[in-house]
Chain A
Amino acid sequence: MTIGLRLFISSAVFAIGIAVAYWLVAHEITGTFLLGFMAFALSFVAGYMIVAEREADLWADRPDAKPADAAGELVGTYSIRSPLPFGTALAMTCIGLGIAISPTLVALGVIALLSLGVGFILQSR
């Protein structure tokens, strides 16, 4: 079990504990819901990680690994430069501004965002 998973499991256990303690002490619904939902969210991540890391064996987690051990392994690819982030942020800002000042701007922003989203997927291939 990786340290990361242990972290999420202990966080989820703590969250459940404090949610229960809060309800018993305060009987206040808003706070109990917030703490309880937090516990649920952490449990969700922990549950996912339990399944996802069934076969995890990172070189990073071996205490006597040497940097050369992972040489040549291709972990993923990424683009060194991309205009998509700037454009995406601009599109999201347009949507936000549009919500405050103009529905047309929202529409433009959504179209831009969808196009850029496609761009992100294409750029990863």
Chain B
Amino acid sequence: MHAQTWPETATTQASVLASDWALFTYAGLAVAALVWGLILFAILRWRRRPGGEAGALPPQFRTNNPLEIAWTVAPLLIVCALFVYTYRAEATVEALPPTADATVDVTAYRWGWTFAYAGGPRVDGTAAAPPQLVLPLNETTRLRLTSRDVTHSFWVPDFLFKKDAIPGQVNVFDLRPQRAGTFIGRCAQFCGLDHALMTFSVRVVPAPEYARWARGGAR
């Protein structure tokens, strides 16, 4: 069980999320290179050399209307384009088709997690004995998330995804793993003393193995 350095595509949703990360990272690097480049160029090109003329003033220009309009409109268009991509990516990731292959009720509490599988076992865990969430490979599991006490957050870094567990509210989302393995899960919303210890794991197994496990009853 270990976290990755760069986005991996452990779920189909994560593939979409990773593409959003990639787009914004490249766009951000391009903007940074441009702006840092301009700043460093100006510094190097127009710094006053020692012994340079201290008296003469440089050209005292104050405006350039076409330029100012350009550097307002161009970024506006760029962010609009980024927004369109963002909107579509989010809609894909948060889509909830009419049915799912499996359903799990996830409840967070101070300081552990409970996973109750529809028609299957119920797994409890604590900070000392973190529970494991089992998911079927290449099938969609619908998670229904809430909290018993304060606000927590269900985060699986390898899935590039988290959702808050809020008392009085049920958050529903789908996960469709496309890679088998075991992944770490954390609480990401500060919830008190054992917040840092409130972990869980996610094990993705082939569908037949999942079915056998689910029939096996409570662990």
Asked whether any CB of A lies within 8 Å of a CB of B in the complex, the reply is no
B residues lining the A interface (CB < 8 Å): none
A residues lining the B interface (CB < 8 Å): none
